Amino acid sequence: MQKAYLYSAALLVVLGSAALASAQVTLLNVSYDPTRELYEDYDKVFADHWKKEKGQDVTINLSNGGSGKQARAIIDGLEADVATLGLAGDIDAIASKAKLLPGNWQSRLPHNSAPYTSAIVLLVRAGNPKHIKDWEDLARPDVSVITANPKTSGGARWNFLAAWGYALKKYGSEEKAREFVGKLYKNVAVLDSGARGSTTTFVERGIGDVLIAWENEAFLAVKELGKGKFEIVVPSASILAEPTVAWVDDNTQKHGTTEVAKAYLEYLYSKEGQEAVARNYYRPQDPKVAAKYAKQFPKIKLFTIDKVFGGWKKAQPAFFGDGGVFDQIYQPGK
């Protein structure tokens, strides 16, 4: 379908295009940066399953980018069948600003529409030369921190809330938390616009002492960019990052893909889906699969956004809106 529309522009007749067989269906999955490996893997798993079940070939096109940027693209008319973004707040924005899916989308799939979770961890250079053990050390004046800009990056918002939640628990008051997080962000050397950008800055460009990162990103960085060059430091407490998924009703109805889009997301919760999730370093929801891969994931005390912050609908405007907490505490150069 997506292919069909792209080529429907009469302009392209010049080049000609492959005719599409009718026994084929195409989905567009608009996702955030670090899921590329996951969905490349899972798409094959799902395509096999769907072929067996319905005898239909399914092609899944994937678009990756910063979570906020991807939500913006869907709001502006990128016809995603499914949105698999970094946080519920971004899908909320699609529901509220473009009304492409109902406001209660999060209750349509199990676990608040989060088929996999992750945690926020710290990545340091080999040997941990700055002796970084916990969030505490990130506010030390001699430590240079790399994280992305929470205004544009979903991952960075989780990072911010992880540090905030830790401080809130440790010091017991909002003011103290604000002071701590303020100190931490004063140590930020480069504030990239996306989580991927900050990993690149830390790993490839050699800037900073510690990177605040998605757990799966940290694993991937260690695996892809040189074993023995980096170490993962597990903080004493962190936030449970819940990337969420939804089918975009308006678009699937228009494309006639509601059934397959729904199945695509539901199958993420199946044993096969959860295996793919765990293979790509995301934490599975299924207890059996979780048990099987338990060794892979460090044990962390995790708090949730719902418990500590009252969910994204509250946290988003309070912390990351214009003039919100982040704008108040982040004043570089001061």
Return residues touching another protein (CB under 8 A): 2-3, 5-9, 11-12, 15, 28, 30, 33, 36, 61-66, 68-69, 71-73, 75-79, 93, 97-98, 149, 151-152, 188-194, 196-197, 199-201, 203-207, 220-221, 224-225, 254, 322, 330-333
CA distance 22 to 204: 46
Q: Exposure pattern of 71-90 as b/e (b: 16+ CB <10 Å)? A: bbbbbeebbbbbbbbbbbbb
For another protein, the closer CB: 36 or 170: 36
Measured distance between the N- and C-terminal CA atoms of the chain, rounded to whole angstroms = 52
For another protein, the closer CB: 228 or 287: 228
- DSSP, collapsed to helix, strand or coil, labels residue 299 as coil
The continuous run of DSSP H or E covering 217 comes out as helix 215-224
For another protein, the closer CB: 209 or 286: 209
For another protein, the closer CB: 113 or 201: 201
Q: Rounded to the nearest whole angstrom, what is the least distance from the CB of residue 297 to another protein in the complex?
A: 21
Closest alpha carbon to 100 in 91, 88, 112, 109: 91
Closest alpha carbon to 149 in 242, 37, 68, 260: 68
The continuous run of DSSP H or E covering 164 comes out as helix 154-171
For another protein, the closer CB: 74 or 240: 74
Q: Rounded to the nearest whole angstrom, what is the least distance from the CB of residue 206 to another protein in the complex?
A: 5
Give one DSSP letter per residue of 17-43, joined into a string: -PPPPTTEEEEEEEE-GGGHHHHHHHH
Q: Rounded to the nearest whole angstrom, what is the least distance from the CB of residue 267 to another protein in the complex?
A: 21
The tokens describing 222, both together, are 């260690």
- DSSP, collapsed to helix, strand or coil, labels residue 285 as coil
Beta bridge partner(s), residue 122 = 212, 233
Q: Rounded to the nearest whole angstrom, what is the least distance from the CB of residue 174 to another protein in the complex?
A: 23
Q: Tell me the residue type at 180.
A: F
Q: Rounded to the nearest whole angstrom, what is the least distance from the CB of residue 236 to another protein in the complex?
A: 29
Q: Rounded to the nearest whole angstrom, what is the least distance from the CB of residue 217 to another protein in the complex?
A: 10
Closest alpha carbon to 125 in 214, 233, 223: 233
Q: Provide CB contacts within 8 A for 38, sequence distance 6+.
A: 116, 216, 276, 277, 280, 282
Distances (CA, A) of 111 to 62, 106, 159, 290: 24, 9, 21, 15
Q: Give 3-state DSSP helix, strand, coil % of the chain, rounded to 5.
A: 50, 20, 30
Q: Rounded to the nearest whole angstrom, what is the least distance from the CB of residue 285 to another protein in the complex?
A: 26
Q: Rounded to the nearest whole angstrom, what is the least distance from the CB of residue 239 to another protein in the complex?
A: 21
